[in-house]
Amino acid sequence: TNGSLTPKEALYEASRNLIDLFLPFLHTEEEGTSFEENKNRFTPPLLTFQKRFTNLKKNKKGIPLNCIFIDQLELPSRTYNCLKRANIHTLLDLLSKTEEDLMRIDSFHMEDGKRIWDTLEKHLPIDLPKNKFSL
């Protein structure tokens, strides 16, 4: 560690984050959603883009958005560095920004926005509009 946390605190924090990452899977089993029966055809409920972001931000599913760091999104290093310089460290920070906010970041390009949206579309259970950051 860099001295800001003791090794014991760092281990505790890491284990809490790991537990928080698996909590959404436990909730889906409790709700009766069976992935075994529908493993090839699981379709999320139809919601609008804005409503899905609102639900995600409200954290109804227990997804710890403040514990998912942008380095976990596997973004290219230039895009990652732009976000870090803009003090965007977590998924919650990123989702609280608008497209216009992101475009105001120094050295941030349309391609970076497209990569971010593609990554979010790949990793998150939401439908993003296809015209965002269109090239």
Mean pLDDT of successive 10-residue stretches along the chain, which has 135 residues: 73 79 62 52 41 51 69 85 90 80 85 80 59 47
With H, G, I as helix, E, B as strand and everything else as coil, classify residue 16.
Answer: helix
pLDDT of residue 111: 84
Sign for the pseudo-dihedral over CA of 132, 44, 120, 99 = positive
Structural tokens at position 98: 């608008």
Question: Which residue type, as a one-letter code, is found at position 59?
Answer: N
Query: Whole-prediction pTM value?
Result: 0.49
Q: What is the pLDDT of residue 63?
A: 59
CATH fold of 48-135, please?
DNA polymerase; domain 1 (1.10.150)
pLDDT of 36 reads 55
Confidence at residue 25, expressed as pLDDT on a 0 to 100 scale: 66
Identify the pLDDT of residue 23: 67
pLDDT at 56: 54
